[in-house]
Amino acid sequence: MKRDNNDFRLYNPNQKDEIWKKEINKKRNGKDLPDYDAKDVYGPEITNEDSALLDQHDSFYMNTKSLLVLFQIMGVMPIMRVPKDAKTTKRTTYNWISKATLWAYLVWSLECIIVVKVGKERLTNFQENSNKRFDEVIYNIIFLSILIPHFLLPIASWRHGPQVAIFKNMWTHYQLKYLKITGTPIVFPNLYSLTWGLCVFSWALSVAVILSQHYLQDDFELWHSFAYYHIIAMLDGFCSLWYINCNAFGTASKGLASNLHKALQAENPALRLAQYRHLWVDLSHMMQQLGRAYSNMYGIYCMVIFFTTIVSLYGSLSEILEHGLSYKEMGLFVIVGYCMTLLFIICNEAYHASRKVGFEFQVRLLNVNLGAIDRSTQREVEMFLVAIAKNPPIMNLDGFTNINRELFAANISYMSTYLIVLMQFKLTLLRQGTRKVIKKIVGTILNATTTLADETESD
């Protein structure tokens, strides 16, 4: 019996589109449909000649420019925008020797002076207080951990500059492609004022949090605060960046979903729906690129929040058990509330973005009346649903973890576990201290009784 020579076939990534083309070329309503090339399915090609159009219709960049400029001034992410007359599709670039990057080197080096000085003093205080009880030493650990993101900035942020530039260019290309296919631009309502407000709020919150520690912590001197302002503002800025991008994904998905009825009522609905499918896949890939571009920064972000929250909670609860509530514990609770709020915003916004781009868009497709459309369009709806299932819009930190509400719940669970262990250790120390005190009191009473008995016998 002869074996079939076609048992093993090479995978053809355009196989689904070829099947679709065969179907769409069949007669529909007694009329022959024209053949379509792959370029028609994937949408209009963007070339270097479209550079002016890319800048003109890059609404997302123009609305969020204030935050990008703030990051350049702070030396956090020194990406640059190419001149408007440059004939290139890469409108955002990153270079290790660009003006923005050289400025970042200078700013980071100057900040290192005050950060190292404060860090040395905290470390010296930590070493000198090693013989004191653990609860007094732990405050230095908290404020030392907050200094860590500054030293990791070149590794976590600058090193991923090319990936960030790719992400920004994806947004730029997507808006022009969206406009050419749907005929309408993506509108980001109130994004300009929101971005400006978040820039101001990031620094205002940084000053408020750090000054609160100066007034609530006894050993937090005023000049120490200058080492922390830019670090907290950087964390606030990254949280604002995440919030803005997640909302932009939801806005783009909502606009694409609202245009679905236009695709179904078009002259060639199957072709238009295929173009919408590729638009949606591009949007899903952008969400994945966001996590890839900022993976190290947000990974360190989450670890610092996790560690600082556990230590701050333990320090505050242990002090309350021994001495009651004081201003020092209130300062630690401010840090805990700040860290948990940042983590919740990141996880919650990622959850909403994934839901809007994935589940809600899928529901919109499932509500399409298949009986009112032809067979080729029905097949394209099925392929659209398969594309959503195969390309889930997940915010993932380059394979390390998925950002969603489950991450927030898991962090709370882990924090509770470690906190219970630490509090058990604390209660054990308290019981041992109580035993020592009781033994000392009993020993003193016994010594006093023995002395009195000896004095009575001598009399």
pLDDT attached to residue 435:
54
What residue numbers bound the domain in which 158 lies? 44-409
| 152 domain residue, yes or no | yes
pLDDT attached to residue 373:
78
Q: What does the DSSP assignment read for 310-351?
A: HHHHHHHHHHHHHH---HHHHHHHHHHHHHHHHHHHHHHHHH
| 17 domain residue, yes or no | no
Q: 421, exposed or middle or buried, with CB in 10 Å at 0-12, 13-18, 19+? A: exposed
| 330 domain residue, yes or no | yes
Q: What does the DSSP assignment read for 128-178?
A: HTTTS-HHHHHHHHHHHHHHHHHHHHHHHTGGGHHHHHHHHHHHHHHHHHH
| 32 domain residue, yes or no | no
pLDDT attached to residue 31:
43
What is the total count of domains within the chain?
A: 1
pLDDT attached to residue 248:
93
CA 381/CA 185 separation, integer angstroms: 24
pLDDT attached to residue 274:
86
| 456 domain residue, yes or no | no
Query: What is the mean pLDDT for each group of 10 consecutive residues in the chain (459 residues)?
Result: 40 46 44 49 74 87 92 92 86 91 94 92 73 64 87 89 92 91 88 94 93 84 90 92 93 88 79 87 90 86 85 80 74 88 92 90 83 82 87 85 89 86 73 54 53 55
What DSSP designation does 44 have? P
Q: Say whether 133 sits in a helix, a strand or coil.
A: coil
| 191 domain residue, yes or no | yes
The region, left, alpha or beta by phi > 0 then psi within -120 to 50, assigned to residue 29 is left
Q: Say whether 103 sits in a helix, a strand or coil.
A: helix
| 14 domain residue, yes or no | no
| 395 domain residue, yes or no | yes
